[in-house]
Structure 1
Amino acid sequence: MDILKHHQIYAARVFTMDQALDLSCSTLFLTDNVLRGSQIVKDMAALDICNIVDIIDPDQIFSRRESHAFKAIVSDVSFISSSTIGALRQHLDRFQDNRPPLFCLLHESAARSRAQAHALGAFQTLPATRAARLLPAALSTVGVAIAHQPESLSIDRKVALANAALIRLFHVAGSGGGVTLQALTTAGEIVETALCSSNIRGWLEVVWQFDNATHQHCLLVAGLAAAFGRQLGMSRADCQRLTHAALLHDLGKSRIPIAILNKPGRLNTIETAIMHEHPALGHAMLGGQGFSEDILTVVRSHHEYLDGSGYPDGLTDTDIPDLVRLVTICDIFGALIERRSYKEPMSGVKAYAILESMTGKLDMDLVHAFRPLAELAG
């Protein structure tokens, strides 16, 4: 298909800003490449309504209108050029204090692009190459209308839904709101359902593709915990508690500065002290919200070791419940195998060897029981 014909096919989907605002649509799609943006929208078959605006077209600069016409904004803009960043910011500024959540598709994997997205106030970042699969689920967290989904969702879509639910939990908590039991239950059910139709390796392969390091880690740990619970023959109720605890274990990181969370390299003494606050922060954030004591204990104590060398309370052996011991193993293993832009992931075999070397710190009976899962993780 030639470029002119391609452009004509999608011309009807591109609107001036005033036209778009008159449509009472749910999603505003801002792009610096109409052909590319139109193809992404076309591929998102599950998305109900989405209107495309070309940010580099001077005729589409608009005066502020009623921003409630949109429930979300998607940026399909390359962050390489300062001119396109400026044009995007100009469009975003029109919403002033009423701007809906911004979802940024990253075309470059560099830390600079992620930093730019955060500087623009992105609610979530997603790799542009996987927008068609991940974006509909992400948008569903802010109430964008999503077409009916078949029951047999792919593992990609299930992980995307779990990620979207987790982002919502962290966003609410980070902005000072209360995390609800219903929101946690929804996220936990998605994780458990996904693992029933796939193995842990399939779950990890998809999770590794997410940009946000904290969300990626929580999903890794939740998947590992859910699979570990099933492998141990735990009851459904206990597996649910384990999965829920794993999803929330790092919730306190929503209050830790991004610069510390995403620092590529070793933290200094001050940064380490700040990072070590996240278990107590998470515990305080969830207190009085109706969560079980088991979950609260995991959130506060998942960095405690049997020999008393952990934090924040220096607990020892009998002070550390089984649920905490399980999540701690999954937490350490997940941290070792996760993929970051500044480090290669460790293989499952090497990561498990490190768990085995932590005699005295970890429950070795549980570590040995974890071995088949570590081998499946590769």
Structure 2
Amino acid sequence: MGHVIRTEEQQAAVDGLQRFLTAEVEPIFSKEYRDTLVPKPLMGKLMRELSRFGLISGTVDEAHGGMGLDWLTMIMLFEEVATTSADLSVPVLINSFGAYMLQQLAPQHLRERYLPGLVSGELFCSIGISEPDVGSNVLEIKTRARRDGDHYVLNGEKTWISNGSYSDFLICTCRTGDDPRRGLTHFLLDRKEHPYEVRDIHKIAWNSQSTAQIFLNDVRVPATHMIGNEGEALKNTLSMFERSRVFVAAQGLGLGRRALEEAVRYATERKQHGKVIAGHQLIAAMLAEMATQVDASRLLVYRAAEMIQAGVPAEMEAAMAKYFACEAAVTVARQAVQIHGGNGVTREFLVEKLAREAIVAPIPEGTTQIQQLLIARALTGINAF
């Protein structure tokens, strides 16, 4: 839907990925595992296949075994995954940023041990930031890492952790000091060597992948498993948010685009009052509005990706993309249900699932309200939170 300007290489990459997603992925997430957890072996198989197309591997330089794709091409590919399945897009996103963090921040011995597995799709990672009382304000993290000789002992609880039950390792944000800004540090916990407890969370949607609570009870981790320098986790996390918000915005874009596609298909087939409903003016107006919102979302998402690729600060633009695209997904999915009428609330039609998924989209990586505060701060220089 809507014209997209791509290079020949980008178009070829997107076309190849689309064929794979249609043939191999669509049946899994729309039928076989529509609202149930995809088993790890099957999800791992999909990760390995997607990495060949540049998902996950694209965020990593060729020198470290990746494809080293530019951020705009990555977003174009990620949009296709999110359009096919929001659930599948989550482990792709988390593994991609786990790989990016390892490349950028991990000491050589951890990078050599874990990065190849992420790039190939053999390993899953989780990134543990959120806690029961900590969402958007990373400064309030309570999980502690206490130094004990050559190790740190970790205690705390993380929640809303994507890939939780799949994870082979966890990149965990912990408090190593009392300074709110300079007291946070990342550690890599190998699930076999530094066991942590995982409990999946059942949600309104996005249940075909794992979202979990993670409990850390006197988990001993070698000091050599520190990711980045001690006390620099806040700085490193905030620099990641700018990039990851563009990917979450692309999830909203994918959801809105799929809802539009389903609505157009239904409106051109369903007949009422002697003609297909697309021929009724109110339905036509709804479709036009939906298409405009989807295209506007894409323009904001692609702009932010291009700015990041160019090395231009894009905090405001990433926030705008995330805010607009995810809220647009809610509106477009709601309208798609309306166009389907009574059929739209049955499990026989995909828009029922898309509407539930769209409701979730504005929450991860900072709610819509947090994005609005970020935008306003960029405009005025005044911090409202």
TM-score where L is the length of structure 2: 0.29
Q: Which has the larger radius of gyration?
A: 1
**Structure showing greater relative contact order (alpha-carbon pairs closer than 8 Å, 6 or more residues apart):** 2
